[in-house]
Amino acid sequence: MNAQILYVTVDSELNSERIAREVLESKLAACVNIIRNVQSLYIENGNIKSSVEYILIIKTVVEKKDQIVKKLIELHPYNTPCILSTNSMSCNKKFYDWLMLQCS
């Protein structure tokens, strides 16, 4: 019973909500948490840059991983989006059952 968790950064509230709604409506995820106004520091063209981003934590099932990553790349405004995924180490049965129901 492994859930799939994806961590995605986005440039704006509008894009974070648009992407969240799309993956939910497509039944690719059961829940998306949006963490607002995170300061990100990163290297671009050899320089340290800073910007405000939004973090999406997407909860889904392992079977949807390839589909959701493809959809995220399609929807994402960045040329090089951060899409990190990992299987949860464990998941309680009741939550996993809910995930499966929402993603089917």
pLDDT digits (tens, 9 = 90+) for 62-104: 999 999 999 999 999 999 999 999 988 788 999 999 999 999 8
Contact 40, 12 (CB under 8 A): no
Q: Which domains does the chain have, with CATH numbers?
A: 3-102 (3.30.70.120)
The Cα 81–Cα 84 span in angstroms is: 9
CA-to-CA distance for 28 and 81, rounded, in angstroms? 18
For tokens 């960045």, name the residue: 78
Alpha-carbon distances, residue 33 vs 45, 47, 49 (angstroms): 31, 30, 25
pLDDT tens for residues 17-35?
Answer: 999 999 999 999 999 999 9
- pLDDT of 6: 97
DSSP string, 31-70: EEEEEEEEEEEEEETTEEEEEEEEEEEEEEEGGGHHHHHH
pLDDT at residue 87, as a whole number = 83
What mean pLDDT comes out for the span 40-59?
96
**The whole model's pTM is what?**
0.92
